[in-house]
Amino acid sequence: MTLERSLVDSLSQITTATITTILLKKGLRNVWMRGARPLRQGSPRLVGRAFTLRFVPAREDLATPESWASPKSTRAAIEAMPEGAIAVVDAMGVTDAGIFGDILCARMKKRGVTALVTDGVVRDIAGVLGTGLPIWCQGAAAPPSVAGLTFVNWQEPIGCGGVAVFPDDVVVLDQDGAVLIPAKLVEDVAEAGREQERLEGWIMEEVEKGVPLPGLYPPNAETKARYEKTNKR
């Protein structure tokens, strides 16, 4: 299911740091995917629904170059990815086998996939960067996926960077990493995030004026009253 444009626009204005704080207040502590770092610095904030893929440890009779032509392969999974999705790949943190190379990333880009996120690594890094597909991962390795992993399925619950990811959850990416928002909380987070960003922007202005932090951040009742008065102008 495609994420509504209004939600994409709203979440694109909210940092992953703010999102983790909002989710913490809702009781969710484990939403930041460990090891998923932007492969290219300076990428804009990206938002999309999760399209999940899962690898398990390599098994010699299954993890072979011939498996790439199987109906249940990374190639088939890519052809099932909808436009606007963020591919989230459970590579179990393996860093000595690249899950995708330049050709697969180029196909994802051509299909309109927003980004690739994994707790593993990619290969053919120069070519991958050349595709323009935004990628959050642990880096690069020359060996192919079958050297250390067996691909098993797509669009099922996975774990990526220690975070439980279900198909159609929402992922937000920026320079701080990859954060998951459970599907049922997306609208609440977008609304709370917009207000939190406005408040923190105002607090930053107060800091620039020389206002001390106690009572300002977090704001006490007096500070909240000043903020609300400013917002009404």
What's the chain's average pLDDT?
94
Determine the pLDDT at residue 60: 85
Tens-digit pLDDT profile for residues 79-99: 999 999 999 999 999 999 999
- pLDDT higher than 80, residue 128: yes
Has residue 70 got a pLDDT over 90?
no
Q: Tell the burial category of 62 from Cβ atoms under 10 Å away from its Cβ (0-12, 13-18, 19+).
A: middle
pLDDT above 70 (res 233): no
Q: Are 136 and 115 in contact (CB under 8 A)?
A: yes
Q: Half-sphere exposure of 225 toward its Cβ, with a 13 Å CA cutoff?
A: 4
User: Which tens digits make up the pLDDT trace of 139-187?
Assistant: 999 999 999 999 999 999 999 999 999 999 999 999 999 999 999 999 9
> Which residue has better confidence, 137 or 198?
137
Cis link prior to 218 (omega < 30° from 0)?
yes
172, 14 contact by CB (below 8 A): yes
pLDDT of residue 1: 67
Residue 230 confidence (pLDDT) above 90? no
Enumerate domains of the chain plus CATH numbers. 5-183 (3.50.30.40), 188-232 (no CATH)
What is the C-alpha to C-alpha distance for residues 123 and 101, in angstroms, rounded to an integer? 5
The rounded percent of the chain whose pLDDT value lies above 70 is: 99
What's residue 69's pLDDT? Answer: 76
> Does pTM top 0.85 for this prediction?
yes
**For every residue of 55-115, which 3-state class applies, written as one string?**
EEECCCCCCCHHHHHCCCCHHHHHHCCCCCCEEEEECCCCCCCECCCHHHHHHHHHCCCCE
Taking the alpha carbons of 141, 147, 149, 151 in that order, is the dihedral positive or negative?
positive
Phi-psi category of residue 132: left, alpha or beta, with phi > 0 → left and psi -120 to 50 → alpha: left
Q: For 163-175, what is each residue's pLDDT tens digit?
A: 999 999 999 999 9
